[in-house]
Chain A
Amino acid sequence: MKIAVCINHVPDTETKIKVGADNVNIDKTGVNYMLSPYDEFAVEEALRIREKFTGDVTVLSLGGDAHKETLRKALAMGVEKAVLLKDDSVRDSNGVAKALAEELRQMSPDVILFGKQSIDYDNAQVGTLVAEMLGLPSVAVVVKLDIQEGKVVCDREIEGGHEIVETKLPAVFLAQKGLNEPRYPSLKGIMAAKSKPIEEKPAAPAEVQVQTIHLKKPPAKGSGKILSTDDSAVSELIRLLREEAKVI
């Protein structure tokens, strides 16, 4: 089984984001980066599929040199190969998908995994776009992936419930939280990753269709108000919810 996972290098969920001086990019100073959490589920799933069916797993990432850190983490988790599609520019989803699709077309994996979205720009488009560009079926928001003889059965989350779908390989799957519990890279895995190569290639060019013109932070949260700590607070709270907040 040939498995490919597309992964992104994103600001850590706990890091404090500041808008840069140009109002278009974030200020990267002091920002910690990580493997995008949904992509981590995708990597874990790829490893489990490989452990079950044998084969090999390749991770791909599009971006600058900094993305090597995240590729290295995937290698340390046990992935065999890593490819960095080098490009330092900021791309829209279409541009990212084009470059990935180009590379994946040549690789022609049986299983292609993505996270359902990367947690930086939250567009949730790349995986589906790639599937479309490659003419492959895609299943998004997957919480269970069961590869059987001649078919794949997926459980995917939908609003208020679950949908069970069936498709055939090759196909694209977009991982949702709950798909699995990702492993930590072991120290041995980290040492072994040192000798695994990261192949660097120029990313296929793509024209910008959607351009960021402005980034802004949500308005600062106002400070809370403590009414009192005994039960007299209840009637006051109800009054304020009615008269001030006008929500009840």
Chain B
Amino acid sequence: MPKFQGVDYYDIDSLLSEEELLVRNTVREFVDENVIPIIEKHNRAGTFPMELVGKMAALGLFGSTLPAQYGCAEMNNVAYGLVMQELERGDSSVRSFASVQSALVMYPIFRYGSETQKDHWLPKLAKGEKIGCFGLTEPDYGSDPGGMITRAVETSDGYILNGAKMWITNGTLADVAVIWAKLDGVVHGFLVEKGTKGFSAPEMKGKHSLRASVTSELILEDVYIPKKNRLPGGSGLKLPLSCLSQARYGIAWGTVGAAMGCYETALNYAKTRIQFDKPIAAFQLIQMRLVHMVTEITKAQLLCLQLGRLKDAGKVRFQQISMAKRNNAYHALEIAREARSILGANGILDEYPVMRHSANLESVMTYEGTHEMHTLIVGEDITGIPAYT
């Protein structure tokens, strides 16, 4: 497998610091050597590559922006974004795993957890000794999570949880689930450990997308958890939404990775595939598509980088993250489809990564807020008029 040389039409690398470049190059090499050689096998079998968990942890890919006291790298958000970009160039499933572990499990524990919860969970999650999942979506409440049915009832020494979550990444693998449930009508976060009585996490089967990721239902039937398992640092829907902002930020970068992988494949293919006695790259119709691809990638890279700089300066607004997630997932999917078609029949084979990326990106368009929901978020932001209902 040749090493990926990157797509950098605007010399955006010159805007990155030495550490950011080293982080990017390290993860790029890691993905070339460890993810790409095995991912098709897992995609075909519909299994998550567990063998990568320890390796990703050793590199420090989980919770990498969190403080060193928890065994994390304490990197900035741009470096974190570059990690997500490279992981998703390998596969959206691998990036999803890292996103969930970092942004949807470690982040809420870090931000809303007690000192005991942080000291107990963060180092283990960083080391990959424990895996987490994030349960917000329910069968009947997706884009509108505020309507969730899952309930917590307080008892003398803890809580009883009842309800069902669906579409939960890493659910079956997870040692700890961050469950969002209503307590007296207000959303709270609860930590539910694997093996707790009444709690089960069957895997959902039959996915055509993110096949190398485990997606599960979470079933809670009179699940008792002690008081200390509630995240004490706040309540309300804004808590899970703040976690989603972290994850969406990573997705904005990740999708650029998938798009770069597809573009590179299409460009190389077009230069070597001969039809009508010429490489197909010599045809204007093919060039136009390749130019569109590289232009959209360049725009997406610039969106991400400035978004990351804003985030590092503590100035980012969630609506700005919505814009980048919306734009980048959309164009990555479009690029994957274009790449698929430039490869002709070969485009549907798993010898090339494009169909896998294309199928994966269908999920990425939907999860972490659908394309439409992000449109409505930015729409409300610029007009002042909410248009959700």
Contacts and interface: CB of A to CB of B under 8 A. Distances in A.
B126 to A, nearest CB: 10
B268 interface: no
Interface residues of B, number: 24
A188 B29 contact: no
Contacts of A186: 58-60, 73
A239 interface: no
B33 to A, nearest CB: 9
Interface stretch (A8-16, A88-96, A125-133, A159-167): A8-16
Contacts of B58: 184, 186
A32 interface: yes
Nearest to A191: B73
Given A14-B2, A14-B5, A76-B22, A187 B79 contact: yes
B26 interface: yes
A185 B79 CA distance: 14
A190 B3 contact: no
Q: Dominant SS at the B interface?
A: helix
A123 B21 CA distance: 30
Interface in B11-67: 18-19, 21-23, 26, 29-30, 58-61, 64
B175 interface: no
Contact of B73 (A12, A14, A69, A187): A187
B186 interface: no
Contact of A188 (B2, B3, B22, B60): B60
Contacts of B22: 69, 72-73, 76, 185, 190, 193
Contacts of A76: 22, 26
A201 interface: no
Nearest to B60: A187
B74 interface: yes
Bin the interface of chain A by size: 20 to 34
B59 A12 contact: no
A194 interface: yes
B84 to A, nearest CB: 13
A32 B5 contact: yes
Contacts of A193: 19, 22
B81 to A, nearest CB: 13
B75 interface: yes
B75 A191 contact: yes
Interface of B: 2-3, 5-6, 18-19, 21-23, 26, 29-30, 58-61, 64, 68, 72-75, 79, 83
Given A14-B2, A184-B59, 6 more contacts: A69-B18, A72-B22, A184-B29, A184-B30, A188-B68, A188-B72
Interface of A: 12-15, 32, 68-69, 72-73, 76, 184-191, 193-194
